[in-house]
Structure 1
Amino acid sequence: MKVSELRAKTVDELNKELLDLLKAQFGLRMQLATQQLSNNSQIGKVRRQIARVRTLLREKAVQQ
């Protein structure tokens, strides 16, 4: 998801997105541990998405 799409979301929607991404990251880590993950780059992509969402949450918190 692009940053512009994330900026259009509310704080509640961003929190839900963050929760979904954290669950996805956990699932990927479990797949990696059990050697079921074929594409290791997915972990990095999810980590970057988590960082984007957390950054936007922080920006919105500072603005208020």
Structure 2
Amino acid sequence: MKASELRAKDVAALETEVKELLKAHFGLRMQKATQQLSNHTMLGKTRRDIARAKTVLAQKKKESAK
């Protein structure tokens, strides 16, 4: 997901997006542990998406605090 798409969302939507990404990442980690994951690059992609979403969320919270 692009940062511009995330910036268009409000704080509540970003928090739910982070939760969904964390669940997806957990599922991928479990698939890797049981050797069912065929595309290992998805782990890195979801980790970067989580970081991107958390960054935009922190920026939005900082803006609203001003």
Smaller-chain TM-score bracket = over 0.9
TM-score (norm 2): 0.94
When the two chains are superposed, the root-mean-square deviation of aligned CA atoms in Å is: 0.6
Tell me the alpha carbon deviations over residues 6-56 of structure 1, each in whole angstroms, 9 at most, x when there is no partner. Answer: 100000000010000000000000000000000100000000000000001
Quick one: which amino acid aligns to residue 37 of structure 1?
L
Structure 2, unpaired ranges of 5+: none
Residue 42 of structure 2 aligns with which residue?
42
Tell me which stretches of 4 or more aligned residues in structure 1 moved more than 6 Å.
none
Residue 15 of structure 1 aligns with which residue?
15
TM-score (norm 1): 0.96
Structure 1, unpaired ranges of 5+: none
Q: Distance in 2 between matches of 1:61 and 1:7?
A: 12
